[in-house]
Amino acid sequence: MYERKQENIHGFCVTKESGYGKIAFALKQKMFMTWRMKDMFIIAGLGNPDRQYEGTRHNVGFDVIDRIAEKYNISVDVKKHRALLGKGVIEGQKVILAKPQTYMNLSGESIRSLVDYYKIDGEHELLVIYDDINLGVGQLRIREKGSAGGHNGIKNIIAHLGTQVFPRIRVGVGEKPSRYDLADYVLGHFSKAEKELMEEGYDHAVDAAGMILSGRIGDAMSEYNRKKKETRP
């Protein structure tokens, strides 16, 4: 016996056996192939795809996407454009959630493919979420444009898009201690105390993304760009 499940696919409630998801999966794939429409918004969180990188500082972009997906009941499970994708509606806005699977330093390859395929205006309909070692743990910095600031994933996106004008949410992971190698630090895991600060940061990033989608990026900057007092473990 198989447990019967229902899934809402493209406006229809499809009943499937839990052991047979091929029809539902095929419908999802077809839906992503045809879902090119106006007023689309792409939210991309940056990170590295392998399990060994889960929960690391460099993967906070993925973690924010997971929390957005959970809040708005969006499944991020379709593999296209070298990314894991999920579609849904947030604050009345049709969105694609994306987690590029190219590894961090080649994120621009996936982002450019998505921008071209869905024919979006990258300067106004793309939001990129990523880690920042220049911000305190869990702090946010929201910008409408800007340089890469030494972040290789953003540097690659700018190179592929040919512009540095696109909204972004930088999520602070704390400054690298002097004794640490940079790669070891960003690929390392948070301490217990840092995790508590990051949980608040993730919640704020999710809220900020919703504000940006509703056209209130100025309000989001006013609310979350304020520096908060950080307790460092």
Active site residues: 58
Q: Is residue 5 helix, strand or coil?
A: strand
Partners of 12 in the beta sheet? 9
Measured in residues, the chain has a length of 233
Cβ 172 vs Cβ 136: under 8 Å: yes
Instruction: Tell me how far apart the 2 most distant CA atoms of the chain are, in Å.
Output: 58
User: DSSP E strands: which ranges in the chain?
Assistant: 4-9, 12-17, 41-45, 78-80, 83-90, 93-100, 126-132, 140-143, 168-172
Q: In whole angstroms, give the CA distance from residue 208 to residue 170.
A: 11
Residue 58 neighbours by CB under 8 Å, 6+ apart = 47, 48, 104, 131, 186, 187
- With both helix axes pointing from N to C terminus, report the angle between 192-213 and 217-224 in degrees, rounded to the nearest 10: 160
